[in-house]
Amino acid sequence: MLRFLLRRLLWFAITLLVVMSVSFTLMHSVKGGPFDNERTLHPSIEANIKARYNLDWPIWRQFLDYVGPLNLNEKRATFLGGDGSDVWGGVMTGDFGPSYRYRDFTVNDIIGQSLPISALLGVVAMMWALSLGVSAGIASALRRGGKLDLALRLAATGGIALPNFVIASFLIILFVFWIPLLPVAGWGTLQHMLLPGFCLGLVFAAYIARLTRTGMLEVLSQDYIRTAYAKGLAPRTVILRHALKGGILPVVSYLGPATAGILTGSLVIERIFFIPGTGSHFVNSATNRDYTLAMGVTILYTVLVYGLNTVVDLAYTLLDPRIDLENE
């Protein structure tokens, strides 16, 4: 286990460096900058603004500033500070620096305010996805070849084929205008969470249903399941206590990418329902050329995806003791 974690930590450092390098290169290779959309400034004023944010530095030096302070003795003021006592921009210290567009906030402030909202939306979406997907997958496997199996497979195929913004549009028309049960936008109450969480989780519920059906069909054909039935155990006990544990292994392996997909895919849902989450800020950072905010959110998503995949691998050993992480 320790060797596995150390190996993952090494690859995490390499992955993070590659992601930062590629993101930084792509951002700075696009024409324009964070202050090009403002009214025409005097050249001296524009030069002072760029100097304040160190955009007048060479590209290689700006990149190193994302990785960490170039020189701990070289103190530079933050946007909110101004006394020269802080060193901003050191990603390794968890400081992403000031936002170029939201002048009164640092990137850490923006992420700190928006991430809990996106995380809560993701939890609601994952609860919908797991409850609907696992239930549909089990029912489909138990009724293999029947009408229920066919209907659930068609529904899962439709859920995979339709993007979440199309599903959201139909559900808004249904539950907001035709049957006014839920609010169309906003955040703060349980009613605000239900509809966007359902729209975001429905696509992933379709994938989980297909994976659960496949895993359950494979497990139900095993000898130990037939032995359990032969011993006189109730069908419910065989399904829930014996078959389900092995049948959801494909779902467990999918949870890491699914959680990452929910976090990154929530930006469309957040836009539709006017939810002030991290996804909305990520879109704004791209359109506004807000380098520090875009880099901060990119690094945040990288850490979340890598961490969740590691947790999934560890969970595999709890569900199937035959898996040896040391040899993976």
DSSP state of 41: -
What is the C-alpha to C-alpha distance for residues 141 and 144, in angstroms, rounded to an integer? 5
What confidence tier does 49 reach under pLDDT thresholds 50, 70, 90? low
For the chain, percent of residues with pLDDT exceeding 70: 76
Quote the radius of gyration of the chain (alpha carbons, Å): 24
Max avg pLDDT among 128-137, 213-222, 297-306: 128-137
Query: What was the pLDDT predicted at 38?
Result: 54
**DSSP letter string, 64-96:** HHHHS-S-TTS----SS--SS------GGGT--
Query: What was the pLDDT predicted at 208?
Result: 92
- Rounded to two decimals, the pTM is 0.72
SS3 (DSSP) at 1: coil
Query: What was the pLDDT predicted at 296?
Result: 84
What confidence tier does 175 reach under pLDDT thresholds 50, 70, 90? confident
Yes or no: domain 113-327 corresponds to CATH 1.10.3720.10: yes
- Among 92-106, 157-171, 222-236, the range scoring the smallest mean pLDDT is 92-106
How many separate helices (H) and strands (E) can be counted in the chain?
Answer: 13, 0
What confidence tier does 31 reach under pLDDT thresholds 50, 70, 90? confident
What is the C-alpha to C-alpha distance for residues 30 and 289, in angstroms, rounded to an integer? 9
What is the C-alpha to C-alpha distance for residues 200 and 119, in angstroms, rounded to an integer? 12
Q: State mean pLDDT over 169-175.
A: 88
What confidence tier does 309 reach under pLDDT thresholds 50, 70, 90? confident
Contact 263/304 with Cβ under 8 angstroms?
yes
Contact 292/300 with Cβ under 8 angstroms?
no
For the chain, percent of residues with pLDDT exceeding 90: 5
SS3 (DSSP) at 106: strand
- Among 103-107, 133-137, 193-197, the range scoring the smallest mean pLDDT is 103-107
- Could you tell me which residues come within 8 angstroms of residue 45 by beta carbon, excluding any fewer than 6 positions away? none
Query: What was the pLDDT predicted at 181?
Result: 84
Rounded to the nearest integer, the mean pLDDT of the chain is: 77
Query: What was the pLDDT predicted at 88?
Result: 43
Report CA-CA distances (Å) from 181 to 170, 271, 317: 14, 21, 43
Sign of CA dihedral 30, 32, 33, 38: negative
